[in-house]
Amino acid sequence: MSFTAILDILLGALAILLVFGLAVFVHEFGHMFFALIRGVGVESFAIGMGPKITSWKWRGIEFSLRWIPAGGFVKLKGMMPEELEEPAVAESEAAAGDLASGHHEDKELSESAYDDLLALRDEGLVTKLLVFGGGVFMNFVTAIVAAALLGFVGTKAQLFPIELEQVPEASLLAELGVEPGDRIVAFDGAPTPYSLDLQQAVIEKTGGPMGVGEIYHRFLAGVLPYVEPPDEPTTTVLTAMELTVERGGENRRLALEGITNKQLDRLLDEVTLNMRIPPIVGELIPNYPADRAGIKRGDRIVAIDGEPIESFSDMTRLIAARPGVETRTTVEREGEQLELTVIPRRDVLKDKPTGQIGVFNGAPDTRVLRETPFRAITLAPVSTMQAFLGMLNLNVQFFKRATAKDISQNLGGPIAIAVMTFQRAMGGISELLDWFIMLNLLLMFFNLLPLPVLDGGFIVLSLIEAVIRRPVPTKILAPIYTVFVIFFITLMVAISGLDIWNWFISPLM
């Protein structure tokens, strides 16, 4: 193994510890911070579960790092009710993964599960909501800060030359006279060597990028029913423009007359959907056939079993037709061609066997896009909220139609998070920051589920107690919390087993 490979592994491992550890830390810090400002005592604060690696005391609070990297917890000071007075208070679970400890030596399982609720038994509703919701609030704030930093540092945009692989008959492209194989080289006189340049030229032609105020207006109109959306310039007819395409070594100018803003947006979508994507490897799924065969990020796949490859769709089509078959794959790397043998993994798509090798498309070049500090900071909250709402919608749509097989293949736990963090770390700081944002939002989503032992469950129970004006008896809570603690521990073990199967065993089959 080369020194560079060893260094990559070490940096990836460090990224896993920092990214996952920081997301858990800010979550637990949120619980502790709001407990302290509301006058609720805190006994201990831990990152990780299980036996201690090290611990220290500061201002009466015991801080500790623990061996199992599956969450963390905050232990609050509080009086137990009389019927639970005998057992000693142990750690309480306050975050995703808090149930993996198994470290409640003198207590029943159910008692440990709702320690926080018992500690806040005599507190008001505001205090309960702040303490129980403090973790997800801090994850959201952290995601906003990371989004602002990402906007300032810049994101890598993939650059694709605009060559049309196909032109659907019922399309604006066809009406303009664009043909398959044409390269779009200019829009209204502005050079467009890449699709990103065409997108920016279209934005400038239709009035320039949206201001911060309009972005917030559109966002609020999308989530609040009483906010009127801004006027859409769908019927605004633009001045005459032209699209320059290269065909057979000659440039041809195609007139765009009487076109509206909406039609121009549609034209841009048609170009994006129908342009040729180069057969360049962007990312690889670890331990899948391509990774095991030695294919690397940035490789250009030039032939499959001797058949030339012109686009990523060509490669996908040929690989899909070879499930479980040894496939001679020619790749170009740093100016040299290499012959590799890949055996596509056998999968089933629409009841038909299909081959997969675990690669995602890349681009021949990238460009860093940065925002001004003002726009980066002011747009971070709305971009973060949009990402969270998009993630909610994606999960809802997935579980509406998902089969048991879909869930088993897409559900991930700590191992999957570690693998994906390692992948993003190899892509650079912008990709790692983007993943850190999503990880914080995932913790928010999971912890807000209204289930016992999760933050969302504690919040719902606090609201119920506020309505009925008395605590729910512990004899009712105990069996409920016992069932859910066992359920979540079982779920964590099952998901970890699925992670090992999906990422390390299944790809080998």
Residue 341 bridge partners (DSSP): 328
pLDDT given for residue 209 in this prediction: 61
Closest CA to 40 of 138, 111, 131: 131
Q: Which residues contact 90 (CB under 8 A, 6 or more apart)?
A: 75, 103, 104, 105, 106, 107, 112, 115
Joined together, the tokens standing for residue 145 give: 């800060």
Question: How far apart, in whole angstroms, are the C-alpha atoms of residue 163 and residue 236?
Answer: 29
Pick the CATH number of 161-274 from 3.30.200.20, 2.30.30.110, 3.90.1150.10, 2.30.42.10: 2.30.42.10
pLDDT score at 133: 94
* C-alpha distances out from residue 355 to 144, 152, 221, 291, 325, Å: 40, 41, 44, 15, 9
Decide yes or no: CATH 2.30.42.10 for domain 281-362.
yes
Whole-number pLDDT of residue 266: 86
What is the pLDDT tens value at each position of the chain, 509 positions in all? 566 667 777 877 888 888 888 999 999 999 999 999 999 889 899 988 888 999 999 988 999 998 877 778 888 885 344 333 333 333 333 333 343 333 344 444 445 556 666 778 778 899 999 999 999 999 999 999 999 999 999 988 899 999 999 999 889 899 989 999 999 999 988 899 999 999 888 888 776 566 667 666 666 766 666 666 665 555 565 666 889 999 999 999 998 887 777 788 888 899 999 999 999 998 888 778 898 899 998 999 999 999 999 999 999 999 999 998 999 999 999 889 999 999 998 887 777 888 999 899 999 898 998 989 998 999 899 889 888 888 888 888 878 777 777 777 677 888 888 888 888 888 788 889 999 999 999 999 999 999 988 899 999 999 999 999 888 888 888 888 888 888 888 888 888 888 888 777 776 66
Position 46: which residue type? A
Neighbours of 76 (CB within 10 A): 23
Domain 281-362 in the same topology as domain 161-274: yes
DSSP SS3 for 442: helix
Determine the pLDDT at residue 507. Answer: 66
Record the tokens describing residue 71, joined without a space. Answer: 């969450």
Q: How far apart are CA 11 and CA 335, in angstroms?
A: 28
CA separation, residue 31 to residues 25, 64, 86, 95, 346 (Å): 10, 16, 26, 9, 46
pLDDT at 227: 65
Written as one string, the DSSP assignment of 57-84 is EETTEEEEEEEEEEEEEEEE--PPPGGG
Long-range contact set of residues 443-447: C-beta below 8 Å, sequence gap at least 24: 443/23, 443/24, 443/27, 443/95, 443/96, 443/135, 443/136, 443/139, 444/136, 444/139, 444/140, 444/143, 444/388, 445/388, 445/391, 445/392, 445/395, 446/96, 447/27, 447/95, 447/96, 447/135, 447/136, 447/139
168: its two tokens: 């659907």
Judge whether 499 and 416 are in contact, CB under 8 Å.
yes
Q: Report whether 90 contacts 108 (CB < 8 A).
A: no
Retrieve residue 210's tokens: 């949206």
Could you tell me the residue ranges of all domains in the chain?
A: 161-274, 281-362
Question: Based on the number of CB atoms within 10 Å of its own CB, is 297 exposed (0-12), middle (13-18) or buried (19 or more)?
Answer: middle
What is the reported pLDDT for 87?
Answer: 36
Q: What are phi and psi of 132, to 5 degrees?
A: -70, -30
The 3-class secondary structure across 231-277, one letter per residue, is CCCCCCECCCEEEEEEECCEEEEEEECCCEHHHHHHHHHHHHHHECC
> Is the four-CA dihedral 132, 134, 137, 142 of positive or negative sign?
negative
Q: Determine the pLDDT at residue 184.
A: 94
Owner of token pair 């690989």:
319
Number of Cβ within 10 Å of residue 81's Cβ equals: 11
Amino acid at 176: L
Dihedral Cα 207, 209, 211, 217, nearest 10 deg: 90
The Cα 191–Cα 185 span in angstroms is: 6
Dihedral (C-alpha) 171, 175, 177, 182: value to the nearest 10 degrees?
Answer: -20
Q: With residue 55 as reference, give the H or E element that holds it.
A: strand 42-58
Q: What is the pLDDT of residue 80?
A: 40
458's enclosing H/E stretch is helix 455-468
Is residue 278 within 8 A of residue 315, CB to CB? The reply is no
What single-letter amino acid sits at 86?
E
